[in-house]
Amino acid sequence: MILVLLNVYLALLFILVKLGIIRFNRFWKVSPAIVFVLLLVGLFVPMSWGAPQGSALVVRHSVAIVPDVAGEVVDVPVQPNQPLKAGDVLFRIDPVPFRSQVDTFAAQLKFQETRLAEMMQLQTHGTGRAFDVEQRQAEVDQLKAQLAAAQWNLDKTVIRAPTEGYVTNVALRKGARVANLPLAPVMAFIDTSETVIGVEIAQIDARYVAPGQQVELTFKMFPGRVLTGKVESLVQAIATGQVQVSGVAVAPKAIASAPFLVRVKLDDEAFAGSLPAGSTGEAAIFTDQVKPTHLIRKVLLRQVAITNYINPF
């Protein structure tokens, strides 16, 4: 944009010289350099922190699907990359061994409840001991807890979608054996109930960014289109500022000014939900500072939106 404005000035200067309105002396010869410095210092440098611009990325949360029980897979009705609702079946594990446990505990509970009723009846007639009644009651309570745990295991043989989303890269097949191992997920579930858009802003330009400020975005996938949104938050931590638990002393490392991340929400939530995870683009944040530069930033962003038709990078 600075080159466009400078070229406009040069064209205007050329016309004025040709028409004889001004004399092409030493001052006018060096005036393009003066105009360039003035534009840079007076407009484009303040614009970088009054209306900062940065790369935008669409991300979604991924849930590692790990079954709560181990067993043989008997059914995988889910299709890859197909929209799912919360509670839809992803796959089923053979329920036979878990149902047998439920039946076993249910039969034992029924027997112990009968014995408890008999003991209580004997105590009522004065021929039974209170200790026997308490012992039977404890056995009944224990069996109820075991039955509840067995029923929970049986219910967990049907693995369901935790929320709205889809499963990608479905390699699980009928006959495979799965286990309750946190480090060995069997599916990757992509949560589409929330779309997260992050914008990278240089640290020097992030000083005036605050929640609620207006944002304009354009994505590579939709060239020529400019979307609006608002700043949700400025992420208060990045990886370079994180300290992890370790048994060694602090290790010196090269320090670099990595960009901060700004979380943005689109005004058009339906459109945000249609964006594939990994969609990239550019975003401009309009702060409360140097408002005259906002118009220039809007023009620059629309130039980016138009060049997205031919620029793959």
Residues 236/237/241/245 CA torsion (nearest 10 deg) = 120
C-alpha distances (whole Å) from 202 to each of 51, 52, 264, 311 are: 12, 8, 16, 23
Assign 117 to helix, strand or coil: helix
Lowest mean pLDDT among 18-32, 133-147, 157-171: 18-32
pLDDT category at 6 given cuts 50, 70, 90 is low
* 62-191 topology per CATH: OB fold (Dihydrolipoamide Acetyltransferase, E2P) (2.40.50)
More reliable by pLDDT, 284 or 114? 284
More confident residue, 311 or 45: 311
pLDDT of 63 above 70? yes
CA 98 to CA 70: how far, in whole Å? 10
Give the pLDDT confidence of 193-251 residue by residue, as tens digits: 888 999 999 999 999 999 999 999 999 999 999 999 999 999 888 877 877 777 787 77
pTM above 0.75, yes or no: no
- Average pLDDT value for the chain: 86
Looking at residue 9, its pLDDT comes to 55
Q: How confident is residue 186, by pLDDT bands cut at 50, 70 and 90?
A: very high
41-59 per-position pLDDT tens digit: 666 677 888 999 999 999 9
75-91 mean pLDDT: 94
Percentage of the chain with pLDDT > 70? 88
In angstroms, rounded to a whole number, what is the distance separating the alpha carbons of residues 136 and 259?
67
pLDDT, one tens digit per residue, over 247-266 is 787 777 778 888 999 999 99
pLDDT tens string 9-36: 567 756 766 777 777 777 666 677 766 6
Name the CATH superfamily for 51-60+194-307: Efflux pump adaptor protein, beta barrel domain (2.40.30.170)
pLDDT at 166: 93
What is the per-residue pLDDT for 181?
87
Higher-confidence residue of 89 and 125: namely 89
